[in-house]
Structure formats: structure tokens, C-alpha cells
Structure 1
Amino acid sequence: MKQSKILKKLLNTTTITEKTIFVISISGGKDSKATLIVSLPLLLQYVEPHQIKVVFCDTDWEKDSTYNEIDFITNKLKEFNIELVILRNENYPNGMRDLIKHKKFFPTRMTKFCTEQLKMIPALDYYKNLSLNGFDVITLVGKRRDESEDRKKTPDSKLYEYKDYSFLTIHPIADWTETDVYSFLDETWGIPLSYFEGNKRVGCDECFQSDLKAISLMSEERINQMEELENEISVFYKDKEYTPTFFYKKNKTFSNGFAPIREIVNYAKEKYNYNYFTFHTRALQSLRDKLGQKTLRYEFVQFGYVPDKTNFSKYVNGLLPVPQKMQFDVEYLTSKFLNAKERLDLLKFQKLEEIEKEDNPISCDCESYNLL
């Protein structure tokens, strides 16, 4: 099982005392979960359980599956006699909703005040409070270098110094790949369920940085909340051209930049939920790409069913549905030849296929919005 070389090395070279507190930040996503799991056994070789704090910054705007994941982690931590600490910004008791109402507009890619106010400030206040009470704070964060161009230079560790306190941050899985993470979770506590629902990332429900696939999965409850916010905030702009919305950008359809959230969601559902091949077709395609079509076809010999070359080609290319007598064998071969990340990608599509299409979807010109 994969371990953290970075954390091992730093623990051996860092001064650790009974006043040292390790803070592991979790989001409910795959990277922070992997960081938590790989770090706990190592940390417990150096400190007592009460010196390990696992924290979750709650925006009150997370996906239901994220909250379920946090509950799961909370129960797992009890095995280590460690409690989960929930952090919130006390200025905004209802999280994102209160923050948007206070700002009178929605966060955007240019003004990401939500991350600052609901994640960073509560976390920094927590570190500061520990430091001012005489503790040496070391935080563990699940950043990886292969996540994006911006994170390519993520260091193994970094010291943050402020006027009256400081803390060291370690990135235990900075050198891991995405496949490393999925495989590790598959072998340990499991992959967070949110990824099986079709989400590429785990974060607020819904985030202005989401793609249309994630938006298509937005719950009716969240849509209603966002519509209420749109209506409430619009009052402050009734005499102005600007109309606040979660996704704001002027285009030929929305000359004032206002794209109501329900129209965006319906467009996303229409575009992404109903244009996929079946799960088994996609599984065959993944297996073909990995093994080659000829080798894959001969894999079916052991099951006593070998489709002729013409039909098999049609199954793989989605021209014919995969016969029921092949489906179980396809599922078996995915478990045999595909890794955890590849299987997860297939399950995302399977989940999307189960969503029912609405009778009267509202279409809109959303291609020019920065949602793809």
C-alpha cells in the first residue's frame, strides 16, 4: 500500500513535542481523505491522539454526499480516539446564503469571497487560537502537483508567518498522481460517493466553477434556494443594468448578463444526461483501449460466448446495445483489467444514465458562458 515519503521524511527532521498539534484539513473530497488516511498511522507514532485535530470548514452549502462523507469520516476517527472539529465563520451563521445576502451579489471567478470568508478565515482563526495558547501548529493539506498548472510547484512543506503567530504546512501527497489517490482509497476507506454521482470535484453545491455535468446534478432544493437568492438580491439592482446571478456573463441571449439558475440547470441536463452510450458500451470501449479489440474479444472465450467480429465491433462503437448475456462478463472484465480511477469514470456515466429527462426542458444559449 502506498505511503507518504514526504511526511515520513519531514517527521524525522521536525522537532515534535507534547505542545505540537497536527491539524489535518478535510473537505469530503478524495485528496484530503487520502491525506488523512495515509497520515494518521505515521502521526500516531510521534504524538498522542489528542494532538491530532481533523477539521472541516462548513459552508452550509455542501453537497448531501459530502455531508454523508464527513459523517463517515467522523465515525472512522472514533477508532483512533480523534474527534472531528467543525469550523464556521460566526459572522455568517447560515454560511453561503448569509454571505451572499451580505455581499448583495454572488461570488465569481474574479471575486472568490466565499473561499476566503467560509474556508480560509475560519481555518486561520483556528490556527491562530492554537498558536496563541502556546501550541506549535503543523497543518496537513492534500495538494498535489499534478492537479493543475498552478500547483506544479507545490513544495513538500511551507512555513507561514504572521505578525503574532505562525504555522508549518505539509503536503503529504504532493508527489502522488490522481490514479495513486483513487487506488489508495479503493484499498482503504473507499472513494467518496460524490465522485460516483458524476462530480469531478467535491465542493460547494453548487460552485460557480462547476462544469455543466456537475450542474446537471443540482438538487431541486438547491435550485429553489438559488432562485430565492436571485430574487432577493435583484431588488438592490432594480434601477441598474446589472442583474445578479450565480453565472453572470453577457451574451446574445442574455444581453444584461442574467442567466437564471433554473435555465442553466435544465440546459445542462438536456445536454449531458441523455447523450451517453450505455454503461456497458463505455466499459467495452475502455477495455478495448487498454487491451486492444482483438485481445478483448478473445477474453470472452473463457465465458463460452464469443460474438462474431462484425457484431462485436458494433457493440464497442455503440451501434448495437450490449446483449444482456455479455453484460455480466463485461462487468467482470472491468474489475480485472481497469484500475480504480478507470472504474470510477465508468460509474459516473452509469449514475448519469439513471437521471430521468424532464418533460419540458428550458433551453438557453449557455455555450458562451464559461461553464465548460
Structure 2
Amino acid sequence: MKQSKILKKLLNTTTITDKIVFVISISGGKDSKATLIVSLPLLLKVVKPSQIKVVYCDTHWEKKVTNDEIESIRVKLQELDIQFLVLSNPKYPNGLPDLIKSKKAFPTRMAKTCTQLLKMIPAVEYYKSLNAKGLKVISLVGKRRDESEDRKNIPDSEYYSYKDWGFDIYYPIADWTETDVYSCLDETWGIPLSYFQGNKRVGCDECFQADLKSISLMSEDRIKQMEYVENEVSQYYKDKKPTFFFRRNKTFPNGHAPIREIVNYAKEKYNFNYYTFHTRSLKAMSKKIGQKALRYKFIQSGYIPDKTNFSKYVNGVLSVPQSMQFDVEVLTTKILNSKERSELLKFEKLEDIQSEDNNLVCDCESYNML
């Protein structure tokens, strides 16, 4: 597994005392998880577990799969005797819905009130409480230079000023590539499942910056919740009805559209399915060793798939049954290397995929993705 040169340099050039506390922020996404994984072994060589804190700022707007991911991390940290804290802003007990109602407006790219008030403020207030106890805070955050144009010049570290106080922030994987991140996760605690479901952004469901592909995957429960919030905010406006998403195009010339309309637009725009992780794994393994040899591998592992149906699983005509999924995951790690497994995250379009037996076109309902 790749190591963090940035964190190693920090530890080699810093006098470590029992008054230093390292705080690692996680979001449920790949970069913060990789930062946590690569940092823990290095930190535990020089500090006690009690000097490491892992924090998660809850906006109460996360995807279920993200909450499940956070819970799995909490369990691992508990085994290491490392404190895990869920932070939130007490001014907004229900998170983002309360914030939107309070501001009578939705977050925007120019005014990211959600990030500032639901994530940054709770985290910094916690850091300040540690400082009040005479502890020096060193924050570790998962930002990388190749993430975006905005982050290409981020330094290895910087000082964050907050009122009359401040703290050091380090970015342990700032020089990593996306491939480095996926390889790290693949070799250790696993890639967050949200990425396998087609989500480009992990965390809030959905972020106002979400792309149309992610919007097309939104759950009905979340759509209804957004409709409620939009109706609540609209009562404060006479001439216009503000909406959660802003998309200016021919369909929405003024840039605003109710959530139901934007979801339907997104589904129409992206009217195709994405392979599930298990289907993509089968296809990749079949391409590498052949479908017949792959079926024999399953037989050796104790699962004996029907010959006709197995062909349909490989070709995406039928979704992989739950009874077969565990064997798919095990064989994926045995047959495909780390780079090939990372490639499974690149979603492909399902177009005219047909069964070699009866020419049945792939049925989108098999995937339950939209």
C-alpha cells in the first residue's frame, strides 16, 4: 500500500508530546477513508490511541449507503480503541432541512451554507474545545491536487485562522492520484459501496452540486422530502419559487425547477442502466479467463450456477442472484488484480446487450437502479 510522504515528513520534523491531538475528518467518501487508513499506522507508532480522534459531521441529509459506510468505520475504530465522534450544529437539530428553513433559501455554489454551518463550524468548535484543554490540534483532511482545477495548487499543509485562534491542517494524500486512492481502499478496508451504485459524489443525498446521473438515481423518499422543503421555502417568495437544484437550459430557461421535474429530466437524459458491481465483475472475469473456465471456478467454490442462466448473468440480461454474490466477490479478488478491480468503478452504458440464447434485451428493472 502506498504511504503518505506528507504525513511521514510531519511526524519526522515535529516534536511529538502528549499534548498533541491528531483529528482525522471523514465524510464517507473515498478520499477521507484513504486518508484515515494511511494515517492510522503511522500515527500509532508515535502517539497513543487517545491522541487520535476521528470526526464525522452529520448533515442529516446523507445517503443510507453513506451512513452504513460510516457505521462500518466506527466499528473498526472501536476495535482499535480510537475515539469516533459524530458532530452536528445544535442550531439545526434536523440538519439541512432546518438550515434551509432558517435561511429561507437553498445552498448555492456561491453560498455553501451547508458546508460552512453543518460541517466546518461544528468541526472547528470541537477543535477549539480541545485547545481549551491545553491540547494542540493537528487536523488531517483528505484533499488531493488532481481532484479538480480548484484544488490543483493546494499545499501539503496550511494554517486555518478562526477568530482569535487557529490550527494546522495537513493533507496526507494531496499528491495521490485517484488510482492510488482506489488501490489503497481495494487492498484494505474496501471501496465505499456508494461508488458502485453509480454515485459520483458521496455524502449528501443529493448535493446541490450533483450531476444529472446522480440525480437520476435519487430515492422516492428523498424526492418527497425535497418537495416538502421546497414548498416550505416558497411561501416566503411572491414572484419566484426557489428550488433545490439550479439548471439553466432550454428545459429550465430561468434555471430553477421543482425536484420532481429535475429528477424526471435527469432520468430521461440518462435513460440507461449501469451494471451492478457483480455483473461488471462477472463480465471482466469472463473476458479474462473465458466464460466456461469462469463457470468451473464457481463450481469449485461450491456454487453451481445453471449453464443457461450463468450466460445471462455474465451478459447482463439477468441480475446476479443474492445467493451467488458472495462467490462473485471472492473470485473477483482471486482472478482480477488491483488495477482491474478498480476499473470496475467505471460505469458503462447498457446498450443492446442481448442474451446469446434467446436474444432478450437487457431489462432495466432487473437492476433497480433508477
Q: What TM-score do you get using the length of structure 2 for normalisation?
A: 0.79
The Cα offsets for residues 153-183 of structure 1, whole Å up to 9 and x where unpaired, read as: 1212222244532211111111111111111
Q: Does 1:71 align with 2:74?
A: no
Equivalents in 2 of 1:213, 1:154: separation in Å? 28
Q: Residue 158 of structure 1 contacts residue 168 of structure 1 at CA under 8 Å; is this kept in 2?
A: yes
Q: CA deviation at 1:285?
A: 9.6
- The correspondence for 2:263, drawn from 265, 268, 274, is 265
Structure 1 match to 2:306: none
Q: Residue 269 of structure 1 contacts residue 357 of structure 1 at CA under 8 Å; is this kept in 2?
A: no
Structure 2 match to 1:340: 341
The Cα offsets for residues 122-168 of structure 1, whole Å up to 9 and x where unpaired, read as: 11111122112211100100111111111111212222244532211
The change in CA–CA distance for 1:47 and 1:278 in structure 2 (over 3 A counts) is closer
Q: Aligned ranges for residues 351-370 of structure 1 at < 5 Å?
A: 354-356=366-368
Q: What TM-score do you get using the length of structure 1 for normalisation?
A: 0.79
Equivalent position amino acid for 2:270 in 1: Y
SS in 2 for 1:154: coil
Which is worse superposed, 122-131 or 23-32? Answer: 122-131
SS in 1 for 2:31: helix
Structure 2 match to 1:246: 244
Equivalents in 1 of 2:87, 2:292: separation in Å? 55
The change in CA–CA distance for 1:301 and 1:131 in structure 2 (over 3 A counts) is closer
Q: Aligned ranges for residues 94-113 of structure 1 at < 5 Å?
A: 94-113=94-113
Q: Residue 277 of structure 2 contacts residue 344 of structure 2 at CA under 8 Å; is this kept in 1?
A: no
The change in CA–CA distance for 1:257 and 1:22 in structure 2 (over 3 A counts) is same
Structure 2 match to 1:128: 128
Equivalents in 2 of 1:231, 1:342: separation in Å? 42
Equivalent position amino acid for 1:342 in 2: E
Q: Residue 274 of structure 2 contacts residue 347 of structure 2 at CA under 8 Å; is this kept in 1?
A: no
Q: CA deviation at 1:336?
A: 2.8
Q: Residue 274 of structure 1 contacts residue 353 of structure 1 at CA under 8 Å; is this kept in 2?
A: no
Equivalents in 1 of 2:108, 2:234: separation in Å? 16
- CA RMSD in angstroms, aligned pairs only: 3.3
SS in 1 for 2:201: coil
Equivalent position amino acid for 1:246 in 2: F
The change in CA–CA distance for 1:257 and 1:8 in structure 2 (over 3 A counts) is closer
Q: Residue 21 of structure 2 contacts residue 51 of structure 2 at CA under 8 Å; is this kept in 1?
A: yes
The Cα offsets for residues 61-111 of structure 1, whole Å up to 9 and x where unpaired, read as: 011111101110010001110121111111111100000001111111122
Q: Residue 279 of structure 1 contacts residue 346 of structure 1 at CA under 8 Å; is this kept in 2?
A: no
Structure 1 match to 2:305: none
Which is worse superposed, 37-46 or 263-272? Answer: 263-272
Structure 2 match to 1:142: 142
Q: Residue 25 of structure 1 contacts residue 54 of structure 1 at CA under 8 Å; is this kept in 2?
A: yes
Equivalents in 2 of 1:357, 1:44: separation in Å? 41
Equivalents in 2 of 1:301, 1:204: separation in Å? 39
The Cα offsets for residues 173-210 of structure 1, whole Å up to 9 and x where unpaired, read as: 11111111111111111111111111112121111110
The change in CA–CA distance for 1:108 and 1:353 in structure 2 (over 3 A counts) is farther
The Cα offsets for residues 33-60 of structure 1, whole Å up to 9 and x where unpaired, read as: 0111111111111111111110000000
Equivalents in 2 of 1:343, 1:357: separation in Å? 17
Q: Residue 243 of structure 1 contacts residue 257 of structure 1 at CA under 8 Å; is this kept in 2?
A: no
Q: Residue 276 of structure 1 contacts residue 353 of structure 1 at CA under 8 Å; is this kept in 2?
A: no
Structure 2 match to 1:91: 91
Equivalent position amino acid for 2:115 in 1: T
Equivalents in 2 of 1:204, 1:178: separation in Å? 21
**Paired positions, count:** 330
Equivalent position amino acid for 1:27 in 2: S
Equivalents in 1 of 2:348, 2:248: separation in Å? 36
Q: Aligned ranges for residues 1-372 of structure 1 at < 5 Å?
A: 1-237=1-237, 239-240=238-239, 242-249=240-247, 251-254=249-252, 256-274=254-272, 300=290, 303=293, 324=312, 335-336=335-336, 338-346=339-347, 354-356=366-368
Equivalents in 2 of 1:278, 1:192: separation in Å? 14
Equivalents in 2 of 1:235, 1:29: separation in Å? 35
Identity of aligned residues (%): 64
Q: Which runs of 5+ in 1 are unaligned?
A: 289-295, 306-321, 359-372
The Cα offsets for residues 244-303 of structure 1, whole Å up to 9 and x where unpaired, read as: 101235554445543110111122223325266898997899899xxxxxxx79x64994
Q: Residue 226 of structure 2 contacts residue 259 of structure 2 at CA under 8 Å; is this kept in 1?
A: yes
The change in CA–CA distance for 1:302 and 1:104 in structure 2 (over 3 A counts) is closer
Which is worse superposed, 203-212 or 279-288? Answer: 279-288
Q: Residue 157 of structure 1 contacts residue 169 of structure 1 at CA under 8 Å; is this kept in 2?
A: yes
Equivalents in 1 of 2:277, 2:156: separation in Å? 39
Q: Which runs of 5+ in 2 are unaligned?
A: 296-309, 321-327, 351-361
Q: CA deviation at 1:326?
A: 6.5
